[in-house]
Structure 1
Amino acid sequence: MELFNVVSVEEAKEIIDKSFTYELDSEKVNILQSVSRICFEDIKAECNIPEFKRSTVDGYAVISKDVFGASEVMPSMLELKGEVFMGKVPPSDIICGECLYVPTGGMLPESADSVVMVEYSHKLDDNTILIYSPVAMGDNVIQIGEDIKNQDIVIKKGNKLRPYEVGVVASIGISEVTVYKRPRVGIISTGDEVVSCGVKPILGEVRDINTYLIWSLLLEDGMEPVSYGIIKDDYELLKSATQKAFNECDVVLISGGSSVGTKDHTLKVIASFDDGEVLVHGIAIKPGKPTIIGKHKEKIIFGLPGHPLACCIIYKVLVQNYIYSLMLKSEKIYVTNAVMSINYHKAKGREEYLPVELETIEGIVIAKPVFGKSGIITAFSKAWGYIKIEKNVEGLKEGQAVGVYKL
């Protein structure tokens, strides 16, 4: 029997990095359709934000030295020269001894350098304001360009456009942005025993899970999944579907058929293409050891394990990492700090990704392993996330601090 020539997870990532230079195209989209898209180029401001001095409070625009030392015992007395209306230029400038009423967000007159909150004032008559508190130069004022300066890069290439970034882009007057095209990812499920989820299986058959699992993971990550259906354990059928997926997609994923059985054809299909190359067959990881990484026409193909949890873990650890790299996606991954609920033993020599559910007890987050045999399919749905256990670690102890990654 052929044996796996396993590599570590890091070695697999290095092989991918060295073997592929594939690039995605770009497209322009309206900012209303840009949420969750990835910037193809830096977005630069062509204006200042704000473009005028603005008040951050309701109050009186003043020259700060006029209210130096002001107090309730000895207020400063200023002449009221009028009111600033929202969206309008101040009716006049002010000189020493004068002030203008300005609402929150209103424009300050040129010579005003600060704003006194209305709570620290009293209107003595229509023309006279008493100020009971001093302010320093710049107090309660947003200066020209304090938020965004002209020619600032406001969104960097590779950043994901969240609703907040869309708001920033709108503020500088940009209605279209250049983003990476959504990667098209082909999904092929294999197996004589696999039937569609809408079909009632006969004894010995199982419903397709991985197509729907992978499809949902890709949608969650902003990709464009393409399903090529369920392919029986037939070499010619699998090769035809794989060729079609390569022609139409940026990445190809084959679920099942990655082991070393007589009906596992993924390796033979990859090797059969004129420039096909199997780069990895077997990774020192649990779950997910029988993973394949191949290449055809500068495009990558992953042979994913048929077990749903292993399929999900390999997607999170390798597939997602590669697809993100195509778009230079810079998204930080944060871990949740927890402590182990039990002692857990693992074999040395391979990384293990242990699914866990979380529970908070007396303010402490407890990580409880979700156990399941190889054929159990609900382990990943019960888990909140997973713990990465390094390959040379033999296990975890009850009460040990661990980091949990969101699944």
Structure 2
Amino acid sequence: MDFFDVVSVQEAINRLMEAFKEYEFKAEEVSILEATNRILAEDIYSHIDVPEFNRSTVDGYAIKSKDSQGASESVPSLFNILGEVRMGEAAEKEIKSGETMYVPTGGMIPQGADGMVMVEYTEKLDEENLMVYKPIAFNENIILKGDDIRKGERALKRGKRLTPESIGVLAALGISRVKVYKKPKFYIISTGDEIIDLDEELELGKIRDINSYTLYSAIVKLGGEITGKAIVKDDYELLRQQVEKGLDISDIVLISGGSSVGARDYTARVIDSFEGRGVFVHGISIKPGKPTILGEGKGKLIVGLPGHPVSSIIVFGAIIEEFIYKKMEVHNHKLKTKAIMDFNFPSSPGQQTYQMVKLEERDGKTYASPSFGKSGMITLLSNSDGYIIIKPHEEGIYKGEEREVYLL
């Protein structure tokens, strides 16, 4: 593999998917109380109708809707009260023309009734007679059996991230345990003689380890798990030992730094030293993040990320997140919004450019302005709300055009 034989972002993803086409993230069964933010590993089909009976959406009286036509405050419709439906109990009586029963919100609609009059539009003459002052339409104020979910219908699709609303659907179906993908396991390695950890004394020429902490947070946000992290000096054997440790206890090993061409950059050599196909991408036409390495060792993914924090996070989102979500069949996973560009910006020919932007609301519209800075500046990320993608074939972006902004 020649250094910096760059490929497009899409080609890099294609090679990654091909290299790991047989690889599968395993599933596990968990309680729905532990399933929030996990990725569903199976389609969920309903074995019941939801609701299982016609239910009232208001407090009021169940009637035949046609009996209320023409009702008004001056000329009300008169009904015979048969009783009431209690919550949690079946409605045992059948409504005939001119008859009614009181039904609370969520209560079962009696047979024969096809509408609910809100209690505000009624008045009891006595315990047996009711006046209705407003006409209602057919099935008004009623949720019909199966309106929410029909028996046999797919209620939740495999690959869905389970939200509180999704957990509510599972509870409605009586499902207490569900299959989700196991959290992808990552091992993070930061490389470089100059890198020190947070608890070490900062000396002139040294740099605090930023990448492993930003990547740690990105992995947690993704829904992954970190099995360990380490700082390694520029030493081939030390790096290989850490990569081997990571391969044994994780799904993906991330090596931050050491991906560019240089006498002391050992990442590619280390990846090629393990059993497997070794490096299959060394260089991606992405800005920032060109010196990215993708490889395989012992059947696991090894990624050499650029040392600059912004480049590292951009590549993580553009490549690694895409890989994981494609394998788990997750769709529409990126949060995005539309914004009007508040600036002109040229592109880098042949490269897919990720331009950081800030968002601002003005006169009811959302505008995006550029966040400028070098990829080694971590504040470029913290001061930005998202980014836009400029495709390789585009000449740039123009002030006034509307673009999609991917939110951080």
Aligned length: 406
AA of the residue aligned to 1:179 = V
Which stretch of structure 1 is more off in the superposition, 203-212 or 129-138? 129-138
Q: Which residue of 2 aligns with 1:170?
A: 171
2:263, 2:106 → 1: CA distance? 72
Match for residue 261 of structure 1?
262
Structure 1 range deviating more: 215-224 or 336-345: 336-345
1:311 aligned partner, one-letter code: S
Counterpart contact for 1:340–1:399, Cα < 8 Å: yes
Identity among equivalent positions (%) equals 46
Per-residue Cα deviation, 1:189-225 (whole angstroms, up to 9, x for no partner): 1111101022122111100011100000010111112
Shift of 1:101: 0.9
For residues 37-82 of structure 1, the C-alpha deviation after alignment (integer angstroms, 9 at most, x for no partner) is: 1111111222221112111111111122332333334322111111
Q: Where in structure 2 are the equivalents of 1:107-122 lying within 5 Å?
A: 107-122=108-123
Point out the more displaced range, 45-54 or 91-100. Answer: 91-100
Deviation at 1:134, TM superposition (A): 2.5
Whole-angstrom distance in 2 between the partners of 1:235 and 1:347: 34
Q: Contact conserved, 1:114 with 1:135, CA < 8 A, in 2? A: yes
Deviations, residues 225-284 of structure 1 (Å, cap 9, x unaligned): 222310111111111111111121111111111011111101001111132421110111
Alignment of 1:197-208 (within 5 A): 197-208=198-209
What aligned pairs does 1:135-146 form with structure 2 within 5 A after superposition? 135-146=136-147
Please give the alpha-carbon distance, in whole angstroms, between the structure 2 residues aligned to 1:340 and 1:141.
47
Q: Cα offset for 1:11?
A: 1.0
State the one-letter code of the partner of 2:360.
E
Task: Tell me which moved more, 341-350 or 31-40.
Answer: 341-350
The 5 A counterparts of 1:30-109 are 30-90=31-91, 92-109=93-110
CA distance in 1: counterparts of 2:49 and 2:223, whole angstroms? 32
2: CA distance, partners of 1:280 / 1:398? 35
Alpha-carbon displacement from aligned partner over 1:326-349 (angstroms, at most 9, x marks no partner)? 222223435322233333233311
The answer to whether the 8 A contact 1:82-1:91 is kept is no
**Aligned equivalents of 2:381 and 2:193: distance in 1?**
24
* C-alpha RMSD of the superposition: 1.7
Confirm or deny that 1:375 pairs with 2:376. yes
- After TM superposition, the structure 1 stretch with the greater mean CA deviation from structure 2, 358-367 or 108-117, is 358-367
Could you tell me which residue of structure 2 aligns to residue 6 of structure 1? Answer: 6
Counterpart in the other structure of 1:212: 213
Quick one: distance in 2 between partners of 1:224 and 1:343?
Answer: 40
> C-alpha separation between the residues in 1 aligned to 2:237 and 2:30?
40
The question of whether the paired residues in 2 share the 8 Å contact of 1:211 and 1:227 is answered with no
Q: Distance in 2 between matches of 1:239 and 1:359?
A: 47
Mapping of 1:5-404 within 5 angstroms?
A: 5-21=5-21, 22-90=23-91, 92-404=93-405
The answer for unaligned runs of 5 or more in structure 1 is none
Aligned partners of 2:3 and 2:282 also within 8 Å:
no
CA pair 131-373 structure 1, distance change in 2 beyond 3 A: closer
CA displacement at 1:179 relative to structure 2: 0.7
- Residues 55 and 140 in structure 1, CA contact (< 8 A), matched pair in contact too: yes
Unaligned runs of 5+ in 2: none
Q: Contact (CA 8 Å) 1:159, 1:329: kept in 2 or not? A: yes
Structure 1 residues 61 and 317: alpha-carbon distance in aligned structure 2, compared to 1, 3 A threshold: same
Shift >6 Å, 4+ stretches: none
Answer with 348-357 or 136-145: which moved more.
136-145
1: CA distance, partners of 2:152 / 2:61: 32
SS of the residue 1:187 aligns to: strand
Question: For the structure 1 residues 112 and 282, does the alpha-carbon distance in structure 2 shift closer, same or farther, using more than 3 Å as the test?
Answer: same
TM-score by length of 2: 0.95
Cα displacement string for residues 280-332 of structure 1 (whole angstroms, at most 9, x for unaligned residues) = 10111110000001012332111000000000100111011111122222234
Residue pair 2:227, 2:249 contacting (<8 A) in 1 also: no
8 A Cα contact 1:94 1:111, kept in partner: yes
How far the C-alpha of 1:397 sits from its partner, in A, is: 3.0
CA distance in 2, matches of 1:37, 1:136: 43
> CA–CA distance in 2 between the matches of 1:343 and 1:51?
57
Distance 1:95 1:394 in 2: 72
